[in-house]
Structure 1
Amino acid sequence: MTSVMSMSASPPAAVATASGYVALLQESDNTLRSHALKKLLECVDTLWHEVAESLPDLETIAEDLDLPQDMRQMAAAVASRVFFHLEEPSQALRLALEAGEAHFDLQHTSPYVQSLVRAAIDAYVVERLKVIDDEKDAKEEDIGISMEQLQAMVYRLLETCCKEGKYDHALGIALEAQETSKLREILISSGPSVEMLKYALNSSINVVSSKAFRQEALSVIAECLEQQIDIRKTASVDLIFVYQLLGKPEKVAEVLSKLVKGSDDDSLLGFQLCFDLSDSGDQAFVTRVAAALTKSDAQKKRWAQVDRVLTGGFSSELALSFLHKQSKADSLIMETLKKSLEERGSGGRSSILHNSAVLTHSYLYAGTTNDTFLRDHLDWMKKASNWAKFSATASLGVIHAGHITEAMHLLEPYLPSSPSDEGGSNVSPNGGYAEGGSLYALGLIHGSHSGSSAEKRKETAEFLRTHLRASHTNEVISHGAALGVGLTSMGSNELAAVNELKDLLDTDSAVSGEAAGIAIGMVLVGSGAGNVHNSLPANDKEEIMELVTELKNYARETQHEKIIRGISMGLALMQYGQEENADALIEDMRSDRDPILRYGAQYALALAYCGTGSNKAIRILLHTAVSDVSDDVRMAAVIGLAFVLFKTPERVPQLVKLLMESFNPHVRYASCIAVGIAMAGTGDSESVAMLEPMLDDMTDYVRQGALMGTAMIYMQQSDSSNGRKIRSFREKIASIVREKHQNTLTKMGAILSTGIIDCGGRNCSLGLGSRNGFTKMNSAVGLVLWLQHWHWYPMMHMFSLALTPTYTIGLNRDFKYPKKFEIVCNSKPSIFAYPKKLEEKKEEKKKRVETVALSTTAKEKARQARKRAKGGEGGAAMDVDKEEEKTESKDAVGDEKGEKMEVDKEEEEKKPKKKREPEPTTFRVGNPSRITIAQSQVCVFDLGQRYRPIRPEEKPLGVIILTDSTPGEAEDLGAVKAPSLEPEGECAPPEPFEWTPPDETAATDTKEPVKKEEK
């Protein structure tokens, strides 16, 4: 009885087999079949392998419209679970949707529900993108799921997520499916909360692959931010960021105007955002923002400050002043390099190496305005001839980058005379190489800094265009003038300048035509094919579209490879930032038979998707890198990876790791350069280890690429970083230059690496991104054009456009810097210290080695001498006595020294040795100072000091606007001043002043200002 009761109380045993219930499915009685389906639902997760044999019967029941609905839904539910266990989620999803909500509850967290939800979202995203792209595909018919069913399920899922407060999940689905309306609903239903808006903004930038939908999503986010602009200040920061991404200068100007007209703190925030705008590298956009500002007379001083930042060139002035005053360039580097090249057999007669040394000098002193070495070694500089002279003169533009106030005065000895004087440019008998180089230098001075004065830039552009129109008969001057026009008018979309460059292109001169094609691309950078640029008038869009067609036709008709390359690079520059809008042109160029156009297509792809991390772009570049028949095309494809992935640089070494082992040396070279660009300034040990074997590659230009790539990685690294390997690398590049048997191209790489590793007075790094996350247009353009030095050496100067000064300076509302403002760096000082300078080796004179004589020998000689003196050798007696005295005194001194040395040694052993004090783990950085990107990660603001940043949440990098907590107290301030052309060590004349003679009667009513004469 007890056993029976215990058996009845226990739970029913699990079904051992489903064969009986499966057999009932063949019955004609619906009641039996319904009972079987209910039982199968209970045991299908464990006995699905038995039920799988009856899948056709289950699907037949589910599709039989004559049967009751609940019976059909149970059959679909059973079949769905069987397909789930068979790992066919699409079929399981189709049947789950037919089963209805009763059998497929989205709120359950079982693996079955989660798997089908993922499948549903994936299927909906695919179908949704097909609808957007107007594509027809048979996939919907294959799996038998209608778009309406998928949409209903996904919408139901979104509602469930919002009810449960999982807004981030709902946002992710809406963004992936590109549902603009749902995105708006989710953000509104969330509050909109600050966290959700930031999440939506970050996801739109980093996750959304379609530029068109990203623009829609950002517009929705902007609507939500506008509602919060009066509630919180940070909304203004985010709103300007969003409007800048949308390319709406008028909207940016509206937000800035409100801030500048507001309270003191609001105006300071406005100043900070002006500097951030200028830092983005798109000067044309900044100029349009300045033009759209609605100014008021009430705050004249504030508006003067805004104009000074946006169009007055103050950002460029800050960088120039810092690079000049804080330059840590080592003068011995160039002295040693020059001496090594002049040694017999070390390449002293090679124009390539001499040209590389001149370029290295410009890299070392880029933006510092220090050209003392060139002035001190004019004879060495005069060795340059023809195009080398062009490059040498243009290198002044790299050294004086941003020095716009003195540009014309500096280059006056080299500039051609005004064309209006004699009807054409005055060309010197040597062919105009210096004149052409000076025009190019003028463009580099104005184009290297994105924050330079808009007015000065425009004046210089007009000056260069005058020489461009008059120089068609001289290809050297026209080459320099064309590049100068492109640099000074970069991104301006000035169609008048484009037409003048096109006239030069039509002359069919190879050298001039190449520069004209590149310059057209610089003027129209980022304009696409003309049909997608929001700020262009309709007529300009049509004209640009016609121009693109003409350029492509011209490239296919001309016989000059240089012109084809110039046009292909120009077309590539026009696609900057266009993403999928550039796909049609890129595909047209990729499918061309001419390898030079395919070469341009790789850079067009790299610039169009620069910084996006697009999987589509990476897939195309990798495919081209291993499949194209042209070595140059494969090389460009590999380098393009660094541009697409520069925001996630650690992915580049992983992608090119196998390509470094390629049998093709061009691919190996490109892999070294790609790793160098991506990991520039990081000192990454793994990347350096990847490049080390390439330093001993059998091909000379691969060794060149490895040297330059390693130098890029080691930029702004201290001697103590990376296990002190940087010292051995510096020694290696110096030894390569000295070695007589080294190949010219390898030596060239070593020389250029010397300049790259210490560029800008050791205060610059290679950077494609701005502080607030934008891709810097001028840096991307400069780096792409610098890479063209493989084909044309004068492109090496474009490296200055990609250099970013890594300075940090705190400014008050008057744009003066408080000297007592400091930043705390939580690191050892040696980690971010400047590298140690070279020490000049002094030649040691060879000392005469004296033989050691025994004391008995010396005494014997003295006695013999005295005997000879007594014997009548009177003349020698004095000398001998002196010699004896010296010998004896030496012996005495020697004995004393010996005793002293022994005593000193004993005392030294007794004295305790001083212990080396441990290095501090934190230190304070003054104002202004160099703070590298890596260093900024360990730096924090001390909010307890008098001056505090207006945006304390930001990293201490670049220009920081400060608030004063005690404005009434006296301040110790410094003013930013641009460097003058005064010689080093000579005082500048004082300001004008009035002088009154001692005799008052001699004083006159009119007093002329008197200046102190220069000595």
Structure 2
Amino acid sequence: LGAEDLFSLSPRPAHPEYGQQDELYVNKIIEQAVDTYKLAMRDNTKVDQRLENLLNRIFNLNMESREYRQVVGLALDTRRLDQIERAVKASDDSTTLLSETVIKVLGSQLDRAFRSKVLDVLLRLFSELEEPDFVSMCQCLIKLEKPGDVADILNRLVKNQDGELLAYQISFDLYENATQQFIQQIEKALIPETEKTVTATSESATENATSTTETTTTTTAASSTSGTTSSATATTSSTTSAVTSKSADDSSSSTSGSSESAETVPSGTMSPEVRDKLRSILRGEETIKHHMQFLIKNNHTDMLILKNIKDSVRMACTHNGTVITNGLMHIGTTCDDFLRDNLEWISKATNWNKFNAVATLGLIHRGHEANAMKVLDPYLPKGEPDQFGYKEGGALYAYGLIHANHGSANVIEYLQKQLAGATTAAVRHGACLGLGVAALGTRNESVYSQLRETLYQDDAVVGEAAGTAMGLVMAASLDAAAFREMVQYISDTAHDKIQRGLRT
């Protein structure tokens, strides 16, 4: 450092007698200087100005040789945001360099505060480009937890006809990478306040109309059953057609109708059809539907393997393992033939094995949300459960598994009611687990509070499931208060099962 500019960063050519000694010396000095600088920047301590000057010379040397990727890598290690910006602006392909930097930042082990600063800089640089990489920008915004900005990007894209497909692709990526809470906030941001009021009013009117129709139907049912049935069928068919083939209806409408529709949706705004499509993708409806269809069409499980395992089973634990194996082999395929063909064998399951046997239906029918209640109807709680409630508890867990990471408000409300009204430990255990997987990553305070109250009852069986579910609901939230509550209760409780659930 004392040599300052006299220290050459470029080693002299190899000497015929001494070889590469000069190169080894220079590289070692540079390595030591960079490590010292990195440590000082990480600990936020004062840096020797001479060391700062040496690092600046290293950056300048790489910039002169156009090694921009190396500059970015060194800048991330040394926490030099100015050098990242400098390299990106100097590059001939700024978009590619920015996208590569985003991937590098998201895959690195940078601390949260510095990573947020880097992502903020990258977002600003993206916005200055003529053609920003919106996919990479949204990846940054997910980590920065800025759903409003993501919604702005989606709005910007769909206002341009050429950007509509990209908006759909980003929505698919968001469902795969973002939490349920993040996606719900994007959905809210996509709906203007005026439209929310109109939507609420129209929904209320629809409910009133529905109730009126039901009353009229009830009154006239005795005299005109067949007429009512045909009318209901026609109404259902027309409603389904209107929802599933809107584009076909639009193309068959008259010219005057088309012009009226064009006047209804001002230019530069998102049409209701596009918004509904975006929300459908964001909610995962499209992904889940196509994923399930793929698994059904490509189900090549070897049933002979299961048969051989079943025939060799002689103990309760291996019986339980076989049932779980079937669930894992057929996850998402909706193929429950093994269970149907071996009802007598399945009926041998008792206690928690019975719980697991019913719960595997949730694995098999994962994503089959439309028929979830129909599939599980024979097992779900109805009035008074049996003495122990293993079957009902397993059904509630299965219901949550079917809606895993995709629990709607109705699903969560149903599971909350079942948890509140349950009287047996097994049913409450299943309701807790179902709530946890259905509300995964939602940070739903209502669900978390109910699970916490269940945990504080200090029941070992129920508390284990409640502790696990609390972690699932608050997953990826970095909620310090929730973390402290869970850690404190690990110390307070004497039940190993509850401790295990909270640690999980």
Percent identity among equivalent residues? 32
Which secondary structure state, in structure 2, belongs to the residue aligned with residue 98 of structure 1?
A: coil
CA distance in 1, matches of 2:136, 2:293: 30
Residue equivalent to 2:453: 503
Between the aligned partners of 2:141 and 2:285, the Cα distance in structure 1 is 23
Supply the AA of the counterpart residue of 1:254: D
Which of these residues, 343, 350, 367, is aligned with residue 385 of structure 1?
Answer: 350
**Alignment match, 1:445:** 402
Within-5 A mapping of 1:413-432: 413-417=378-382, 426-429=384-387, 431-432=388-389
Distance 1:212 1:549 in 2: 21
Q: Distance in 1 between matches of 2:324 and 2:477?
A: 32
User: Which of 368, 371, 380 is 1:406 aligned to?
Assistant: 371
Equivalent runs, 1:448-487 vs 2, <5 Å: 450=405, 452=406, 457-471=408-422, 473-487=423-437
Q: How far did 1:512 drift?
A: 0.3
Q: What corresponds to 1:557 in structure 2?
A: 492
Per-residue deviation, 1:156: 2.9
Deviation of 1:108 (Å): 5.3
Say whether residues 1:329 and 2:233 are aligned partners. no
Whether 2:58 is the aligned partner of 1:122: answer no
Q: Does 1:183 align with 2:84?
A: yes
Residue 148 (str. 1) matches residue 99 (str. 2) = no
Residue 464 of structure 2 corresponds to residue 524 of structure 1: no
Structure 1 distance, partners of 2:107, 2:438, is 32
In the alignment, which residue of structure 2 is the partner of 1:292? 189
Distance 2:108 2:342 in 1: 54
CA distance in 1, matches of 2:296, 2:67: 54
Distance 1:199 1:443, change over 3 A: closer
Q: 2:125 maps to what in 1?
A: 224
Deviations 1:705-728 (A, max 9, x none): xxxxxxxxxxxxxxxxxxxxxxxx
Whole-angstrom CA distance in 2 between matches of 1:203 and 1:281: 19
Match of 1:603 in 2: none
Q: Deviations over 1:922-977 (max 9, x none)?
A: xxxxxxxxxxxxxxxxxxxxxxxxxxxxxxxxxxxxxxxxxxxxxxxxxxxxxxxx
What is the distance in 1 between the residues matched to 2:320 and 2:439?
28
Q: Which of 286, 306, 317 pairs up with 1:314?
A: 286
Within the candidate set 422, 432, 435, 2:392 is matched to 435
Structure 2 gap segments, 5+ residues each: 13-21, 193-264
After superposition, the Cα gap between the structure-2 partners of 1:307 and 1:206, relative to the gap in structure 1 and judged at 3 Å, is: closer
Cα distance change on mapping 1:249 and 1:149 into 2, 3 Å: same
Distance 1:123 1:298 in 2: 53
Indicate if the aligned counterparts of 2:355 and 2:393 stay in contact, CA closer than 8 A: yes
Other structure's SS at 1:368 match: coil
Letter aligned with residue 387 of structure 1? W
Counterpart in 1 of 2:210? none
Asked whether the 8 Å contact 2:454–2:462 carries over to 1, the reply is: yes
Contact 1:407 1:442 in 2 (8 A): yes
**Structure 1 residue 411, shift from structure 2 partner:** 1.0
Is residue 256 from structure 1 mapped to residue 154 from structure 2 by the alignment?
yes
Quick one: distance in 2 between partners of 1:298 and 1:242?
Answer: 24
Cα distance change on mapping 1:168 and 1:564 into 2, 3 Å: same
Deviation of the 1:288 alpha carbon: 2.3
**Native 8 Å contact 2:175 2:283 kept in 1:** no
Do the aligned partners of 1:403 and 1:445 also contact (CA within 8 Å) in 2?
Answer: yes
Retained in 1: the 8 A contact 2:490–2:499? Answer: yes
Letter in 1 for 2:54: M
Post-superposition offset of 1:371: 1.3
Residue 7 of structure 2 corresponds to residue 104 of structure 1: yes
1:466 CA drift (Å):
0.6
Q: 1:368 to 1:260 in 2, by over 3 A?
A: same
For each residue in 1:513-535, what CA deviation from the matched residue of structure 2 results, as whole angstroms up to 9, or x when unmatched?
Answer: 100100111111112243xxxxx
Pick from 280, 291, 298 the counterpart of residue 177 of structure 2: 280
1:847-996 equivalent positions in 2, closer than 5 A: none
Is the contact between residue 401 and residue 434 of structure 2 (CA under 8 Å) also seen in structure 1? yes
Instruction: Check whether the contact 1:243–1:251 (CA below 8 A) recurs between aligned residues.
Output: yes
Unpaired segments ≥5 residues, structure 1: 1-96, 135-139, 141-145, 342-346, 418-424, 531-544, 570-1015
Scaled by the length of structure 2, the TM-score of the pair is 0.78
Partner of 1:862: none
RMSD: 2.3
Deviations 1:357-404 (A, max 9, x none): 111111222111111221222111110111111111111111111111
The C-alpha deviation readout for 1:718-755, integer Å capped at 9, x for no partner, is: xxxxxxxxxxxxxxxxxxxxxxxxxxxxxxxxxxxxxx
Query: Which letter does structure 2 place at the counterpart of 1:202?
Result: I
- Correspondence list, 1:573-972, <5 A: none
Q: Which amino acid aligns with 1:106?
A: L
Structure 1 pair 108/294, CA: closer, same or farther in 2 (3 Å)? farther
**What is the CA-CA distance between 1:227 and the residue it aligns to?**
1.4
For 1:330 and 1:529, locate their aligned partners in 2 and report how far apart those are by CA, in whole Å: 44
Tell me the CA shift for residue 208 of structure 1.
5.1
In structure 2, the residue matched to 1:913 is none
Contact 1:458 1:489 in 2 (8 A): no
Hey, what does 2:164 align to over in structure 1?
Answer: 267
Aligned positions, number: 419
Give the distance between the partners of 1:165 and 1:490, measured in 2 at CA.
46
Match of 2:149, as an amino acid?
K
Please state how far the C-alpha of 1:336 moved relative to its aligned partner: 2.9
- 2:465 paired with 1:515: yes
Contact 2:158–2:270, Cα closer than 8 Å, also in 1: no
Structure of higher CA gyration radius? 1
Q: CA deviation at 1:281?
A: 6.1
The 2-side partners of 1:314 and 1:370 are apart by 21
Match of 1:328, SS state, is: coil
SS at match of 2:271: helix
Distance 1:310 1:206, change over 3 A: closer
Look up the equivalent residue of 2:490 and give its one-letter code.
Answer: A
Instruction: State the Cα distance separating 1:324 from its structure 2 match.
Output: 1.9
Aligned partners of 1:362 and 1:396 also within 8 Å: yes
In structure 2, how many angstroms separate the alpha carbons of the residues matched to 1:191 and 1:223? Answer: 18
Question: Relative contact order: is structure 1 or structure 2 higher (C-alpha 8 Å, sep ≥ 6)?
Answer: 1
One-letter amino acid matched to 1:303? R
1:460 & 1:409 partners in 2: Cα distance? 14
Distance in 2 (CA, whole Å) between partners of 1:566 and 1:427 is: 25
1:128-143 correspondence to structure 2 within 5 Å: 128-131=41-44
- Select the structure that is richer in helix: 2
Q: Distance in 2 between matches of 1:528 and 1:127?
A: 27
Does the 8 Å contact 2:155/2:270 carry over to 1? no
Secondary structure of the corresponding residue to residue 491 of structure 1? coil
Alpha-carbon separation, structure 2, partners of 1:150 and 1:294: 53
Alignment-derived partner of residue 986 in structure 1: none
Q: Does 1:305 align with 2:277?
A: yes
* 1:191 CA displacement: 6.0
Distance 2:379 2:421 in 1: 17
Q: Is the 8 A contact 1:176 1:208 kept in 2?
A: no
Question: Aligned pair in 2 of structure 1 residues 208, 486: CA closer, same or farther (>3 Å)?
Answer: closer
Matching residue of 2:214: none
